[in-house]
Structure 1
Amino acid sequence: MPVAGITAFGYGRATPASMLRPTRTRSLEPMKPMQRSLLAAAIVAALSASAYALPVRAQDSQTGTTQKQDKKKVQEMKAVVVTGSLIPTAEINTATPTITITAENIKRQGFTSIYQALRAQPLATGEVQGAATSASFTQGAQSISLLGLPPDFTLFLINGHPLASYPLLYNGEANISDISNIPLAMVSRIDIVPGNQSSIYGSAAIAGVVNIILKKHAHGLDFNYQAGGFSQGGGSSQRLSLVGGYDHGPLSLVYGLQYQEQQPIYQFQRSYASSTFANPNPELAGLPSITYGILDVGPLFAGNNYIDPNSITPNACANIANQYAGTTVRGETVTGVGQPPGQYVGNGYACGSPYAPGYNTVMNKTREGSAYLSGTFRLNDHTELYGNLLLDIYSQNYGVGPFYSFWEPNINGFYNGQAPGYIFNANTGTFQNPFELFSPEEVGGLLTNSTHEVDRSYNFYGGIKGSVGSSNWNYDAFFARSQLNTSTNELHPLTAKVDAFFQNQFLGPKLGTNYGYPVYAPNYKNFYQNVTPAEYQAFSGIIHSSSEDYTQNVNLQVTNTDLFALPAGNVGVAAVLQAGDENWSLPANPLLTSHAFWGQTASSGGGRRNQYAAAVEFHIPIFSMLSADVSARYDRFHNDGGSSSSRPTYKVALAFRPLSTLLLRANYSTAFRMPDMGYVFVGPSGNFQFVTDYYKCEKNAPGTPFSACSQSSANNVQITGQQNPNRFLSPITAKSWGGGVVWSPTSNFTAKADYYDIRIRNEVQYQSVNSLLIQEAQCLLGQIPASSPVCIAALNAVSRSSTGQLLSVSYQPVNIASERVSGIVASLAYRYDLGQWGELSLNGNYNVTLRHQFQAAPGEPTVDLLHNPYYDTLYSQGGSALGPEYKTILSGTLNWAVGNWDTALTAIRYGKLANSAAADNPTVYQTYGAGTLPPWILYNATFKYDIGSDASIGLTVNNLFDTMPPVDKSDTSWPYYNEGAYNIYGRSYYVDFNYRF
């Protein structure tokens, strides 16, 4: 449950309360005794509400205030750096809205990782690719989408210092932060500041800032062991952590170790999407997914029928019936899968299994070890040295199922402009496409051909801080560096070896070519047989890649809470000077770029960006009830290659307190994000994609509307896409405004509500391949002058063979899109003293997105992303389909603590989500209609019992009722649910034991 606190948060290191001069501790306004009493009581209440640790040891991580204090005792308030500001303050609620999640409440609400806790926040409304999204570009990373905006629009910090980016590109395009390798045992709390925060934190803070605060104080040695699993199988885990502290004279240390391991969950372990039996279209449910097939398209690619295996050899599929745990059978094949009932057509038979699609991981197999050390050394009464180091090594395995480990002949023909996989059968005089998907039994086990990823990261900062003599000036000078190295290894067939293997097995010698395609006289009787694990190993090799990203900077920060006096109070000021750089390196694997591995390409790139910044902030008490916080920052960036950009940003925030129990606040700010390193420095990166050849369509059937061309499979071809960098991109810019109210009539009750409105311009999107092909067709057909800039760009981007065969399309990112999102975020916290029956508390959080609109380019239609999330119209310049988002998310926790018992029930209600029919698929839309899915409600329950004063035992049950995502009857393509918005883990349970030495 979010609890407003006075703990430290800032871009620089927070100044401990013990180092601030008590006689100069400021407040935002002169306080009357009653006001000070109410505020102090609220502070104690907020800190007490977060108590989930052992009774005698619970301490606030920054102030050292015990949580067992008399609730009516007025505490002396110390000023610390708070969320969204550089100036120390003693206020709980400021002009900038902040959501705080303490480590105790993360545990109370049943979350076992930082990712789980953040993904359940009402502000995290957007779809995100990750471990639960099979075959994604970043299956080894975890991030969130604040306010439904791209995950790279959120700035992640550790103790106020930026995280290095994940070196692999999200969706093959952008740089995101990976939060999977931050150990929960070392976390004190997490602060979330929604909206534009660039005037304090610089680039990337458009959707908001997430600051993960690690522990600064500890006493004794805390031991924790947790173990658990899932009621439907898979995913068992265990975690061991030790966290301790040391204080002696001027030296203070906090240290910690954590080890955890997690077993994988496969999709076939969840009946919800384990097989094609889960298809909501009853006419397609249970049909085998083809694993061995021979497609015959006639002498001139005029047909589209599979050759029945039994016509080649009796009971052909029986030879491979052992595959996919003995579920492989002969079954009907259809075209139009993914369409509504009645829209598919049977086109022959093949061998396959209904369970083949489910052989991929939706939870990675992981092992992780972490170490943490934080220390301070007081040189004298005015000066302190400090440092903080977090080390982590994260090993994981994830599989993408059988679909990315398969074979078909003539892969090299694809690069010569021919359709991949086709041969000319001299025995039948037709073009054919035989292919095989390798089963787990053939490769040697479930994880044999999985990707093994190892991430090594460290986050360090250290410096010196103190006061300048006996003046009001405090300084903080430090160096910070964060680095993440990622290496991956994957067993995959080698092009030459796997082609030779199958040529020897059934194709026979090459007999020549026909229309550019190789001619064989295959013996298909040898096709339907198992490949042995030894054979698979013999024609495969290891795809290895390594990548790195680091960010570092030096900072000088000065603050003065009493710069000068005004009638309403003292003016405070903070200033920052910063210089640093970021480096991203993703070297190209020469074996991938030369197509040595069958059907695989890779992204590559690298570059360095220097950054310089200066910022200033003022707190100005205008009169007794009104104060203003004004900040401004100037950033300048210089990329390798000579391009430079600079951007000023500012923020004005007002806090009006007409009553001691009421705060009204408003803010206006500007923000920016430098284009991702992946957009600026990506190397020429290839990919395979199916597109519509509009020129071919118009040549064969003049006058056909372009929209009709895309509906005919005869016009669909597979090409290579070529991503290219753009070193002259401009910064993405944003403006936001908001306002809200905080009402706290008693120390036991607080209600908040804030409105936000963010408008983004110059958003980076890759050029649409679809649009380039339309423009190219219009230019070749004379519909647009060939000398026009549009034609020059399109004709240069599209490559064809001398016979007109479409080969490839080259595209790059451009500043062209705009976006707007607005909504309301609200929270409620209430505590009630039950006397001898303990204490009852209720906390709730809510977010409703009122508007989310996207415009791909000037002149393009503005699309409502809340109701049409799969934006991919024919003429879009943006090209990327944007994922769905929840319009509302509501979470609440009811906690009852009595004696040695503490129990809590948490509910998370994910609101309606656009269904699959919202996609621009005419037949699906006409049958089902764009609509919404019902809410998805999950319940978590936790129980804790204190065994004396030094030990406790707890039980956590997540997804108490084993609730699966709502069924989308319009989603008739596997896996039949949105992997980026839902998960199918089901009920989990954990026990943990804590002991303090």
Structure 2
Amino acid sequence: MGVDGCSDSAIGTSVGPSRIHALEGDVGFRQFEKIGSARSFALRRGNRPSKLSGSRGVNKKILSAAICAILVGPFGAALAQDTGQESDAQELDRVIVTGSLIPQTELEIATPVISITAEDIKRQGFKDVYDVLRAQPLATGSVQDSQFSGGFTPGAEPISLLGLDPGFTLVLIDGRPMADYPLLYNGQSNFVDLSSVPTAMVERIDIAPGNQSAIYGSSAIAGVVNIILKKRIDGTNLNFRFGSYDEGGGESIRYQLTGGQSVGSGDLTYGVQASRQDPIFGFQRNDFDSTNDNPNSALQYGSRTFLRLSATQAIYHDPGQATCDGLGNLFNGSTIRDFRPNRGFYCGSRAEPGYTSIMNDERSLSGYVNLTVPMGDSNDFYATLLANHNKMESNSGSRFWAAGVDTGQIIFNQTSGDFETFQHIFAPEEIGGIDVNNERNTSDSYNLAAGFRGTFGESSWDYDAYYARAAYDIKNRQLWPLKAEVENFFREQFLGPQLGEYYGYPVYAPDVDAFYQALTPEQYRSFNSEIRSDSSTWTHNLNFQLTNTNLFNLPGGPVGFAAVLQAGEQSWENPTDQRVVNGLFWGLTGTQGAGKRTNEALAIEFRLPVFSMLTANVSGRYDQYHNKGVNSDSDFTYKVGLEFRPVESLLVRGNYATAFKAPDMAYVFAGDSGFFTSVTDYYRCATEEPTTPIDDCTFSGEGVFGTRRGAPDLESITATSWGGGVVWAPNANFDVSVDYYRVDIDNKVNDLSLDSLMQLEAACRLGQLDPGSPTCVDALARIGRSGPNAPVPNQVNTVLTNPINVSKEEVSGITAKLNYRWETERWGRFSLSSSYNVTLDHESQQYPDDPVLDLLNEPFFSSEFPNIGSLSVTWEKGGWTTTLYGARYGRTPNFAAQLTTAGYTAAGAEKVDAHVTFNGSVDYRFNDDVSLSFTVNNLLNEDPPHDRSWTSYPYYNGFNYNAFGRSFLVEVNWKLGGNQ
């Protein structure tokens, strides 16, 4: 297979299909696992070149050839013969591959695996683990990441493999699960946050797409991301990086210290990373610093910072030029007397939306320790700890207040005799600065493992017994107006005392002149309170694994075997400030819940070389979950893979697997959590406007407060997948692979449809269904209405929903990889790698009777990328290394197309242009100890694709693209001690 560095020179950099990486002067066997013989174990422990070439008595050149044989995989024997190595050197040719529990020589197996090394991350311009995973062609789905400051998880960074939910990707650290992020994605589900993994400690990242539950258990439906941490470092390495953005904001600094040393007979690896990231605000980007950038010129008017509206006539009361001039200092002097077509004049600011952050302010500190201590000739004690402390601040924009929060922000003005709205958006000058309203998350996370591994005597049985624990804690703080206090303040400020009710609306005689007065920071603080919520998750397990790479022989060679016995527990706590849940804050709601569950699992895997050309992999796993105080659920999953090698240079592979995902803790244990939404009131449409079409009915968009809670009786989500492909590697400098995948999901969890619930409730009330049936009793209990004698009789006020197992989803596609390397005597060494993913089909059905949605062509429900491709070209000569990395993201639908599929009338439905970006890096090594690199991300300063129909701020699809612009990074590396 294609392997870089497999020549007469010392160890180089891998560009072959395995992408397992060995850095010159850095690694001996750091990614290799114990195989079972005392000899191979001794060589594995002697991981530094100094030991291997000294006391261990192993020639460095022979070691280089052995590693090359390993990296070449199924063609290792041929290359070993070419280099004249002894056949017993093949004892070293077994490594742990993501997607299998059995150490083996073949790095390309039945499951395709994509590997990204630490050097790839650096050379291709990625600043952290999230960036590199988000850029991978398999990560086609849209996500709410740290750009989306208005959501439930403004500091988190998830990924969506194959366009599936973020929770369908299992994220591992060294093969062990990370703890879930304590806050809920979209206020509903659990997922893993990638921002907590520091790059300084990453050796490589493996991605195995498709079902992997038979090996790893729950959640491995879209695939597995396995982040491999460094186990061996030679000497001490210092790294300093600083960067900034072309258009301002986002300055960053990062310090890294990593090293390794012998501790008695053992080895210690350690690392520390400290970083700072400044925020970027919308007003720092010319393309969306104000509403003047709205692609629809008819919408280029300012935010209504001071607004008085006649609700009956839908027109604004003109405050006059002098009044707005008196407020002109607000929002950095941008408040003016503005005009909205068909509505009128008001005091507003076109710069107001730009006070939202699109990049968070972050400070983080991470530490890593890995210790290995020999316990005799063939056993080890090992322990590893990765810890991260992070402080994040995000700004979701300005707070606002409007009179009549419980009556649709409408009051009755006794003085004018009209129903009116008074609205005030608070400017930074009023609240005391741009950062006063920042949401602040302080998080602490860690991943810990400790255990013993080795060989039972002189047998071929290896074991690995360990305890692992991962935890994630978040302290969330934000300032928000209290409902009663802000209402009382504005009553005193200008509304005056309430004078009763008129048709259910509060009656006031407001002092309009007093309304148009800016507040002082002290006044603003008087009706605010800090929301304090401390949330946490943890997971821990005991794991015992047996492996035997020579269980018995088949015609094709020795049979490999692995078995895993696992027992663990998982916890989630999200105790939101009870005042939020009780509705005491103005216009704000939140999520809450807590629960624990235990799990046990048994997994077995066989690797069966049926004959010289055909190898089968068979694995099965049984998992059982006990949700404490609720219910239990269990699943058996299996996987069958075939590897056919008709000639040394060709691999034909295929696999079929089943998978499952235990219901998210939040789906099971969520308490009453609120949200705001709108519904169609089919009952009032039928009784009060029976001849009016539903779309034109007055009650087709009723605003309501919703309550959501978990469902204790949920069952596991199940899935099947199959795929196949070809890998061709005619020589050590070239390889190419193409693979097909398909994933079918059943029993997917989705929230109960509110539209279906409203239709069902109407049928029960109208007598079309028996009101006394269990179905109707449940539906009627979920819809809260005002009484028959209320000012607005039978008005929907509240709705109640919960998750259910009814949905289906399927996705299929093709992935391809190519690696090519060539050397010239005059011009140096070149290498090229590319990857591509195209989604052929992605369909979803929420309810059994619903139509099947084509998510690639009905974009209201998804704006995922239909295809993503990447290309990396590297040139090396002398001390110079230069890399150009490019990525192309396929065409996605514009916003008008999304509105069209939602049933609205929208002209101009089409697709936006493909998005192409380039990163470039130049690295110069002054000597064996010091190097300097310069990186430019988004080399051509490409903006997100222009979409004239995307008329909501910030005027681009922030779930697919970012608008940070071009950035520059300068990095210095300095090595102290160790071997060169």
Counterpart in 2 of 1:308? 318
- Is residue 258 from structure 1 mapped to residue 280 from structure 2 by the alignment? no
Alpha carbons of 1:678 and 1:23: their partners in 2 closer, same or farther (altered >3 Å)? closer
Pick from 33, 41, 51 the counterpart of residue 16 of structure 1: 33
CA distance in 1 between counterparts of 2:906 and 2:498 reads 48
- Is residue 888 from structure 1 mapped to residue 888 from structure 2 by the alignment? no
Counterpart in 1 of 2:4? none
Pick from 469, 479, 501 the counterpart of residue 513 of structure 1: 501
Alpha carbons of 1:21 and 1:621: their partners in 2 closer, same or farther (altered >3 Å)? farther
CA distance in 2 between counterparts of 1:982 and 1:915 reads 13
Structure 1 residue ranges without an equivalent (≥5): 26-36, 50-64, 335-345, 872-882
Pick from 479, 488, 494 the counterpart of residue 482 of structure 2: 494
Pick from 101, 106, 114 the counterpart of residue 116 of structure 2: 101
Counterpart in 2 of 1:983? 962
Counterpart in 2 of 1:292? 306
Do the aligned partners of 2:174 and 2:227 also contact (CA within 8 Å) in 1?
yes
With the length of structure 2 as denominator, give the TM-score of the two structures: 0.91
With the length of structure 1 as denominator, give the TM-score of the two structures: 0.89
CA distance in 1 between counterparts of 2:938 and 2:83 reads 38
Counterpart in 1 of 2:513? 525
Q: Matches of residues 40-439 of structure 1 in structure 2 within 5 Å?
A: 44=68, 76=90, 77-284=92-299, 286-298=300-312, 303-310=313-320, 315-333=322-340, 346-402=342-398, 405-411=399-405, 414=406, 419-439=407-427
CA distance in 2 between counterparts of 1:407 and 1:716 reads 22
Pick from 740, 761, 765 the counterpart of residue 780 of structure 1: 765
Do the aligned partners of 1:41 and 1:73 also contact (CA within 8 Å) in 2?
no
Counterpart in 2 of 1:60? none
Counterpart in 2 of 1:698? 686
1:709-754 per-position Cα deviation (integer Å, ceiling 9, x unaligned): 3xx5x64332110001101001000000000000000100010111
1:33-80 per-position Cα deviation (integer Å, ceiling 9, x unaligned): xxxx9x99896399799xxxxxxxxxxxxxxx9xxx999676744312
Structure 1 residue 532: Cα displacement: 1.3
Structure 1 residue 637: Cα displacement: 0.3
Q: More displaced, 263-272 or 178-187?
A: 263-272
- Is residue 598 from structure 1 mapped to residue 577 from structure 2 by the alignment? no
- Cα-Cα RMSD: 2.5
Alpha carbons of 1:647 and 1:264: their partners in 2 closer, same or farther (altered >3 Å)? same
Q: More displaced, 636-645 or 742-751?
A: 636-645
Percent sequence identity over matched residues? 45
Structure 1 residue 516: Cα displacement: 2.4
Structure 1 residue 929: Cα displacement: 4.5
- Is residue 840 from structure 1 mapped to residue 864 from structure 2 by the alignment? no
Matched AA of 2:402: E
CA distance in 2 between counterparts of 1:247 and 1:41 reads 26
CA distance in 2 between counterparts of 1:208 and 1:923 reads 31
Pick from 10, 13, 18 the counterpart of residue 5 of structure 1: 18
1:443-483 per-position Cα deviation (integer Å, ceiling 9, x unaligned): 11111101011110110001011100000100110000000
Counterpart in 2 of 1:818? 808
Q: Secondary structure at the match of 1:136?
A: coil
CA distance in 2 between counterparts of 1:102 and 1:289 reads 47
Structure 1 residue 435: Cα displacement: 1.2
Matched AA of 1:439: A
Q: Secondary structure at the match of 1:315?
A: helix
1:135-180 per-position Cα deviation (integer Å, ceiling 9, x unaligned): 0111110010000000000000001110000000000000010010
Counterpart in 2 of 1:970? 949
Matched AA of 1:553: N
Do the aligned partners of 2:16 and 2:735 also contact (CA within 8 Å) in 1?
no
Counterpart in 2 of 1:877? none
Do the aligned partners of 1:610 and 1:639 also contact (CA within 8 Å) in 2?
yes
Structure 2 residue ranges without an equivalent (≥5): 1-13, 22-29, 43-60, 788-792
Q: Secondary structure at the match of 2:347?
A: strand
Q: Matches of residues 603-682 of structure 1 in structure 2 within 5 Å?
A: 603-682=591-670
Do the aligned partners of 2:18 and 2:114 also contact (CA within 8 Å) in 1?
no
1:882-930 per-position Cα deviation (integer Å, ceiling 9, x unaligned): x310001000101000000000000010111122123244799654353
Structure 1 residue 783: Cα displacement: 4.1
Do the aligned partners of 1:41 and 1:71 also contact (CA within 8 Å) in 2?
no
Q: Secondary structure at the match of 2:552?
A: strand
Counterpart in 2 of 1:54? none
Counterpart in 1 of 2:45? none
CA distance in 2 between counterparts of 1:180 and 1:391 reads 12
Do the aligned partners of 1:316 and 1:528 also contact (CA within 8 Å) in 2?
yes
Do the aligned partners of 2:294 and 2:951 also contact (CA within 8 Å) in 1?
yes
Matched AA of 2:534: S
1:805-861 per-position Cα deviation (integer Å, ceiling 9, x unaligned): 211000000001100000001110000011232100000010000000011111211
Q: More displaced, 559-568 or 363-372?
A: 559-568
Do the aligned partners of 2:72 and 2:732 also contact (CA within 8 Å) in 1?
no
Alpha carbons of 1:433 and 1:20: their partners in 2 closer, same or farther (altered >3 Å)? farther
Structure 1 residue 974: Cα displacement: 2.3
Counterpart in 2 of 1:553? 541
Q: Secondary structure at the match of 2:947?
A: coil
Q: Secondary structure at the match of 2:695?
A: helix
Counterpart in 1 of 2:433? 445
Counterpart in 2 of 1:716? 701
Matched AA of 2:327: I
CA distance in 2 between counterparts of 1:21 and 1:892 reads 43
Matched AA of 2:754: V
Q: Secondary structure at the match of 2:326?
A: helix
Q: Secondary structure at the match of 2:297?
A: coil
Q: Matches of residues 728-807 of structure 1 in structure 2 within 5 Å?
A: 728-802=713-787, 803-807=793-797
Counterpart in 2 of 1:880? none
Q: More displaced, 794-803 or 177-186?
A: 794-803
Q: Secondary structure at the match of 1:189?
A: strand
Q: Secondary structure at the match of 1:206?
A: coil
Counterpart in 2 of 1:950? 929
Do the aligned partners of 1:866 and 1:914 also contact (CA within 8 Å) in 2?
no
CA distance in 1 between counterparts of 2:163 and 2:506 reads 49
Q: Secondary structure at the match of 2:826?
A: helix
Alpha carbons of 1:889 and 1:843: their partners in 2 closer, same or farther (altered >3 Å)? same
Q: Secondary structure at the match of 1:107?
A: helix
- Is residue 918 from structure 1 mapped to residue 942 from structure 2 by the alignment? no
Structure 1 residue 248: Cα displacement: 4.1
Counterpart in 2 of 1:477? 465
Do the aligned partners of 2:141 and 2:163 also contact (CA within 8 Å) in 1?
yes
Matched AA of 2:881: D
